[in-house]
């Protein structure tokens, strides 16, 4: 099982309240039968025009290349419950999201992928987004055990996160596949006792 206690890296700011899952991953890309290519599509319609030319979205700016932490505002991930939204962000390279607030289903889907969704105040987020725009090379560490966000190794602020989600990440229980593999022996033992597995 994969225990997640810290996320490190540069950050990318995406400003605006009520950014819904259709903006994060346009509906036409939901027809793909696997999540493999989802990393190509986050914010696609806001990143490219009809001819496929970049429009200058933060995800495509060179100063934010390789960022693993996303800074957002209020009610991020609202709208539909599509799990493709956090899948697209994860496959693009996002490993943690810090925001003012999140839609509950979106936050739950993120947790199931090992992506923390930490919350800070509006004033704190304004400062964070301003900081990364002014100094995009800043390295951050999101510490889930201490519930602190560090910048350049120094404590920057404390954040909130739903305790059950934090526990799942820190203890490794977010990873349902990992739990199954860790208990493969017990699973096989129970399976041997089931008539519909071994015949009646």
What domains are there in the chain, each with its CATH number?
A: 6-173 (3.20.19.10)
d(CA 123, CA 145): 23
33 secondary structure, DSSP code: S
Determine contact, residues 24/76, Cβ cutoff 8 Å.
no
Report pTM: 0.89
Q: Mean pLDDT in runs of 10 for the chain (200 residues)?
A: 92 98 94 91 96 96 98 96 94 98 96 97 97 97 96 91 94 82 84 78
d(CA 41, CA 72): 18
Nearest to 10 by CA among 159, 138, 133, 130: 138
Note the pLDDT of residue 155: 84
Note the pLDDT of residue 153: 84
Please tell me the total number of residues recorded for the chain in this structure. 200
d(CA 147, CA 39): 28
Note the pLDDT of residue 1: 60
């Amino acid at each position: 099982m994969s225990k997640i206690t810290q996320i490190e890296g540069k950050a990318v700011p995406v400003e605006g309240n009520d950014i819904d899952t259709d903006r994060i991953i346009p509906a036409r890309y939901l027809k793909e039968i696997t999540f493999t290519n989802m990393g190509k599509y986050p914010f696609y319609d806001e990143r490219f025009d009809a001819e496929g030319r970049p429009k200058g979205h933060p995800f495509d700016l060179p100063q934010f290349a390789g960022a693993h932490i996303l800074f957002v505002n209020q009610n991020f991930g609202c709208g539909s419950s599509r799990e493709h939204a956090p899948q697209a962000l994860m496959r693009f390279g996002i490993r943690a999201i810090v925001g003012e607030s999140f839609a509950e289903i979106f936050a739950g889907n993120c947790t199931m992928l090992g992506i923390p969704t930490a919350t800070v105040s509006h004033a704190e987020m304004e400062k964070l987004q301003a900081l990364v725009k002014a100094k995009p090379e800043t390295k951050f560490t999101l510490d889930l055990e201490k519930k602190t966000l560090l910048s350049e190794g120094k404590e920057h602020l404390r954040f909130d996160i739903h305790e059950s989600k934090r526990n799942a990440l820190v203890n490794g229980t977010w990873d349902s596949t990992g739990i199954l593999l860790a208990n493969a022996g017990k699973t096989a033992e129970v399976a041997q006792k089931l008539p519909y597995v071994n015949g009646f």
